Structure 1
Amino acid sequence: MPGKPARTGTGRTDWAALKAMSDDEIDRIAAEDEDNPPSDDDHWADAAIGLPPGKTSIHASFDRDVVEFFKHGGRGYQTRMNAVLRRYMEVQKAKEAGRP
């Protein structure tokens, strides 16, 4: 975001090596990455664009092992917990609407 300082984390990305690469080299590496298949207009035909819903702050208690499981994944554990709850909610709503 403009005006926001870059985060300095302890991730595994070698930022110096990445900055030293040319755009062509980055494109070549991306094209060879089997976990990064190419996409075309059909891939994005049904994509929905929108903002995520607003957040509500609550106090909630979770089982200790559940929290530790999500914390084990590093920063963003609350976001991951929210994603799991959101997916569950979406599946339940689809069932109620009679969709598979």
Structure 2
Amino acid sequence: MSQPPRRPRTLNDARTEAEAAFKKATTKPVEAPVVQRRALPGVKEMVSLRIDQDVLEHFQGDGPGWQERINAALRKAAGL
């Protein structure tokens, strides 16, 4: 009596498909490298900044334009 040939596993059997689905679901995607942005002249960016109340009152005391005055003071302090 001859034995029928054993059928080799195919690539699409249920176990292989389940392992591939698990690997796909649990593998972190490769993240794109972080691209540093260059500051464009004259472009403003909105931020939230926590400063002391007395500092805010000082800059607001001269009326409109207080945000530009704070920006100028920060630029001077940063040496820009």
TM-score w.r.t. length of structure 2: 0.46
Q: Which has the greater radius of gyration? A: 2
TM-score w.r.t. length of structure 1: 0.37
State the structure with bigger RCO (CA 8 A, min sep 6), 1 or 2.
2
